[in-house]
Amino acid sequence: MRSEERLGWALSLPGLAVISAIAVFPIGWTAWESLHVHDLRMPWLGRPFVGLANYAEALSSPRFWDAMAHTAVFTAVTVTVELIGGLFLALIVDRISRGRDLVRTTVLLPWAIPTVVVALVWRFLFENPAGLVNAVLFRLGMSSPTWFADATAAWVPLMLADAWKMTPFVAVLLLAGLQSIDRSLYEAARIDGAGWGRQLTALTLPLLRPALLVAFIFRTLDAIRVFDVIYVMTGGGPGTATEPIALLTFSMLLQNLRFGFGAALSMIVFAVTFVLAVVFIRVLGRDALTGRVA
Amino acid sequence: MNVSRLLRVLGVVTVLAILLFPLYWMVTSSFTPEARIFGEPSVIPRTVVLDHYRALFGGRDFWRPIRNSLVVAGATTAVSVGLGVLCAYALARLQFRGKTVMLAFILGVSMFPQISIVSPLYLLLRELRLINTYPGLVLPYLTFAMPLTIWLLVGFFRQLPAELEEAALMDGAGRLRTLREIILPLAWPGLATAAILTFLYCWNEFLFALSFTLGPERYTVPVAIALFRGQYQVPWGEILAAAVVATLPVALLVLVAQRRIVAGLTAGAVKG
């Protein structure tokens, strides 16, 4: 037993060391950096210690609170749409017997292609004034908003693109959950006279709860760090009307080169994710870590 | 009975059509002359030209970002599978104190928002003179690739039957020899899945590549496409052609390995 203990550590240490060096150590560095003024455009200022001044600046800036609100709304809407859409997609795919492979490939494609490509394709579909969506709306006799110049309408293609890419991912997770449900339960329910709706609410949804929970957690943690799709499609615009917290942080770091302030924003993003992750892991329970089906 | 079946088939077909249409539109538009891209929309293209693809590989030298992406994604995948397989075997099959904490730690790191480590990684890479180099992308990529690979492999190792391993141990083969001669040959489908998924994530990665490269000579495919600029207007034809090219390897992987990808996604998520 002792030698197994030693071997266990020996085999896992290289991997853990790499993860610690490149992921955990930088978080500590970010925390330290966030307590300083460090402006790469003004190297003569040095890197003076300023305590919590960067955090105070962030918390008193309207642009910060706007970015937080944008992130929250984006997360709430897309996660809701993707869970409902994914459930619907999983339910209809679950029932088909022929052409399963074709269906699976089709469902996986949007998830697998680069987010940058997804963002550009949807930008192209909604492009003003002659994109496909506008052309279709025009034929139907409807006027279309100036999508990317409108602070509210710009969210529509953004959220649609995200939902188009990630709903299939949710469906794949839920499909695995559905296929682990014992079919004879439905047989029994049918004999008891339960209709389609009753089977869904009394049987499928409760049994699908773990899979739904996992999908919800994955999507939420992913959506609150949204960056790629917004950077490419709207650049956070018009103005800063669609700017999420990750994009604000990126601009402060690599465009304004304000590393101290950017690090403070990074720490806030990290803290929010961390708290949510801890809550979620609690909800999932220890089973997820010890290998029993969650 | 037949009507409900017909309705279901129609439903599936409609949903699939909705999912595929944006991709179809991307492909047909990439073969449409620039002047007609925003003309009267038609589902079946009227004229097909290769202009955009010629411009992409001629004028823009799109081979360069493709090469960069292949090198970075390939190297990251090799390193994380190589190191991850030992770590995952220990975590899945050996009994030792601190194991659960390690798993929680790896799961926690996989939930890290990338943006929160951009600033120190940038300063670190600048100090090491690795900005705008291949290692300067592989190192940051390992931050998400390692936890992903380990997590997937732990799931696969747990599914292997314990009996074979026990028999080998009884026969006096050491743990390492058992791993090399019994476990690895059995686990190669798991290794392939982990490698495919890691490669996909690296191929699609955007934020780190945008942050740690400075010019076209090191841009990866997503960065090169996102930063496309025309002289006077947005060169949609070329952008869409590039989008098609960026999608091709991914589509191929999905076609070849869809079963494995689904197994990997669900093993990583549903089974913990």
What band does B231 get if pLDDT is binned at 50, 70 and 90? Answer: low
Asked if residue B260 has pLDDT above 80, the reply is yes
Cβ atoms within 10 Å of B66's Cβ, excluding its own: 18
Q: Is residue B115 part of a domain?
A: yes
Q: Which residues lie closer than 8 Å to B226 by C-beta, 6 or more apart?
A: A116, A119, A120, A231, A232, B206, B210
Report the pLDDT averaged over residues B179-195: 86
Q: Is residue B144 part of a domain?
A: yes
Residues of chain A numbered 185-214 and touching chain B (CB < 8 Å):
210-211, 214
Q: Whole-model pTM?
A: 0.91
Mean pLDDT of chain B: 87
Residues from chain B that touch A93, judged by Cβ atoms under 8 A, are: 12
Taking the Cβ of residue A126 and every Cβ of chain B, the question of whether any pair is shorter than 8 Å is answered with no
pLDDT digits (tens, 9 = 90+) for A47-87: 889 889 899 999 999 999 999 999 999 999 999 999 999 99
Asked if residue B103 has pLDDT above 90, the reply is no
pLDDT over 70 percentage in chain A: 95
Q: Are residues A81 and A54 in the same domain?
A: no
Number of domains in chain A: 2
Q: Are residues B10 and B127 in the same domain?
A: no
Asked if residue B34 has pLDDT above 90, the reply is no
Please give the pLDDT value at position A294.
33
Lowest mean pLDDT across A25-39, A234-248, B66-80, B96-110 = B96-110
0.85 surpassed by complex ipTM: yes
Mean pLDDT of chain A: 88
Can you tell me the distance from the alpha carbon of A170 to that of A174, in angstroms, rounded to the nearest whole number? 6
Please give the pLDDT value at position B213.
95
The dihedral through the CA atoms of A112, A116, A117, A120 has a sign that is: positive
Please give the pLDDT value at position A63.
96
pLDDT digits (tens, 9 = 90+) for A136-159: 898 898 888 888 999 999 999 999
Angle at B51 between CA B47 and CA B53, to 5 degrees: 115
Asked if residue B75 has pLDDT above 90, the reply is yes
Give the residue, B218 or A191, on which the prediction is more confident: B218
Asked if residue B230 has pLDDT above 80, the reply is no
Report the pLDDT averaged over residues A37-49: 86
Asked if residue B18 has pLDDT above 80, the reply is yes
Are A227 and B11 within 8 A, CB to CB?
no
Question: In this structure, what CATH number is given to the domain that contains residue B182?
Answer: 1.10.3720.10
Taking the Cβ of residue A87 and every Cβ of chain B, the question of whether any pair is shorter than 8 Å is answered with no
Exposure string for B174-188, b = 16+ CB within 10 A, e = fewer: ebeebbeebbeeebe
Cβ–Cβ under 8 Å, residues A294 and B271: yes
Angle at A224 between CA A223 and CA A228, to 5 degrees: 65
Taking the Cβ of residue A270 and every Cβ of chain B, the question of whether any pair is shorter than 8 Å is answered with yes
What band does B1 get if pLDDT is binned at 50, 70 and 90? Answer: low
What band does B256 get if pLDDT is binned at 50, 70 and 90? Answer: confident
Inter-axis angle of helices B63-93 and B99-110, to 10 degrees?
A: 160
Can you tell me the distance from the alpha carbon of B200 to that of A197, in angstroms, rounded to the nearest whole number? 38
Are B250 and A95 within 8 A, CB to CB?
no
Q: Is residue B134 part of a domain?
A: yes
CA-based nearest distance A176→chain B, Å: 7
What band does A288 get if pLDDT is binned at 50, 70 and 90? Answer: low
Q: Are residues B199 and B262 in the same domain?
A: yes
The one-letter amino acid code at A233 reads M
Cβ–Cβ under 8 Å, residues A264 and A34: yes
Phi, psi of A48 (to 5 degrees): -65, 145
Give the residue, B110 or A2, on which the prediction is more confident: B110
Residues from chain B that touch A139, judged by Cβ atoms under 8 A, are: none
State which H helix or E strand residue B17 sits in.
helix B2-30
Cβ–Cβ under 8 Å, residues A294 and B270: yes
Q: Are residues B76 and B41 in the same domain?
A: no
Q: Which residue in this structure is represented by tokens 């931050």?
A: B143
- Spatial CA neighbour of A224 closest among A166, A272, A154, A173: A272
Cβ–Cβ under 8 Å, residues A222 and A181: no
Q: Are residues B22 and B97 in the same domain?
A: no
Are B261 and A117 within 8 A, CB to CB?
no
- Spatial CA neighbour of B25 closest among A81, A133, A86: A133
Asked if residue B271 has pLDDT above 70, the reply is no
The domain of B24 spans 2-49
What band does B41 get if pLDDT is binned at 50, 70 and 90? Answer: confident
Q: Is residue A112 part of a domain?
A: yes
Q: Are residues A45 and A171 in the same domain?
A: no
- Spatial CA neighbour of A15 closest among B158, B88, B267: B88
Q: Which residues lie closer than 8 Å to B234 by C-beta, 6 or more apart?
A: B228
Please give the pLDDT value at position A166.
95
Please give the pLDDT value at position B269.
52
List, in sequence order, every residue forming a beta bridge with A36; answer none if it has no partner. Answer: A49
What band does B243 get if pLDDT is binned at 50, 70 and 90? Answer: very high
Question: In this structure, what CATH number is given to the domain that contains residue A201?
Answer: 1.10.3720.10
pLDDT over 90 percentage in chain A: 47
Report the pLDDT averaged over residues B111-134: 92
Q: Are residues B232 and B152 in the same domain?
A: yes
Residues from chain A that touch B262, judged by Cβ atoms under 8 A, are: 104, 108, 172, 176
pLDDT over 70 percentage in chain B: 96
Please give the pLDDT value at position B60.
83
Report the pLDDT averaged over residues A200-227: 89
The domain of A223 spans 71-242
Q: Is residue A114 part of a domain?
A: yes
Give me the total of CB pairs closer than 8 Å, taking one residue from chain A and one from chain B. Answer: 300
